[in-house]
Chain A
């Protein structure tokens, strides 16, 4: 029996950005076309995060 993860709480943008753009498995090399300038994007997205912003309700 599979047991999926359920998140009860809201997702804040700052926590989402930290993980999605700063974490995860990273593939580098010629065969990869990762989104260019992710680090720069991360910096500019952070500049927009003035306070805790809720992106979505967490409950599934």
Chain B
């Protein structure tokens, strides 16, 4: 199997090391290059492998634009890799244009008050608690997301994806603006009484590599 880490504009791709300590190699088709490890079995998504994949993509992210693959993409042959690139070249080129010179910064809100709620005794209690949690999350999102989105080329967010997480957001930010973004996020985080903000990144543009669904 051929494991694919990323696709981007051809770069020098100096010998990065990938999964299982195997080399990362380029497969070029037209204007795009996929970065792969050949002769490898499909990895299971354990934390070490996820981290290894991310580290490969990070090491390949230089000034040329690059899109990370979702973890676990394996193809059978080089011809298959080239076919994927050929079939999607225009769309990939458009996406690469959108991310060029930019990185992803993540912002995840967590409740300051972490007390477990007493278990709901009735269906009504359950629903009321759920609605309260959702309202609180919406307040956090309204305070945080529009302000940070203004500093980004693109932004995505998800409200209360888990009960303990009011907001998960991703921002596509010009490299030169990252320090400013992080400072603003830190300031916003301190201001909010109900939640604190966990900033992560810079990341390759995982959240901006596929078209957003409406």
Contact = CB atoms under 8 A, between A and B. Distances in A.
Interface in A3-57: 3-5, 7, 9, 11-27, 31-35, 38, 41-42, 45-46, 52, 55-56
* Interface-centre pick from B84, B200, B203, B210 (highest chain A CB count, 10 A): B200
Given A12-B198, A33-B1, A7 B68 contact: no
A11 B55 CA distance: 11
Contacts of A3: 62-63
B69 A24 contact: yes
B86 to A, nearest CB: 12
Given A15-B200, A17-B50, A45-B45, A34 B206 contact: no
B192 interface: no
B18 to A, nearest CB: 14
Contacts of B202: 5, 7
B45 A35 contact: yes
B108 interface: yes
A5 B178 CA distance: 12
B58 interface: yes
B contacts with A: majority SS: mixed
A52 to B, nearest CB: 7
Contacts of B92: 25
Contacts of A12: 198, 200
B160 interface: no
B106 interface: yes
Contacts of A14: 108
Contact of A15 (B4, B12, B108): B108
Interface of B: 1, 4, 7, 11-12, 42-45, 47, 50-51, 53-54, 58-59, 61-63, 67-76, 80, 83-84, 92, 95, 103-104, 106, 108, 110, 162, 168, 170, 198-204, 206-207, 209-210
24 contacts: A2-B11, A3-B63, A4-B58, A4-B61, A4-B62, A11-B200, A14-B108, A15-B108, A17-B50, A19-B207, A22-B206, A24-B209, A24-B210, A25-B92, A26-B210, A27-B4, A27-B75, A31-B84, A32-B74, A33-B74, A34-B73, A35-B71, A38-B71, A45-B45
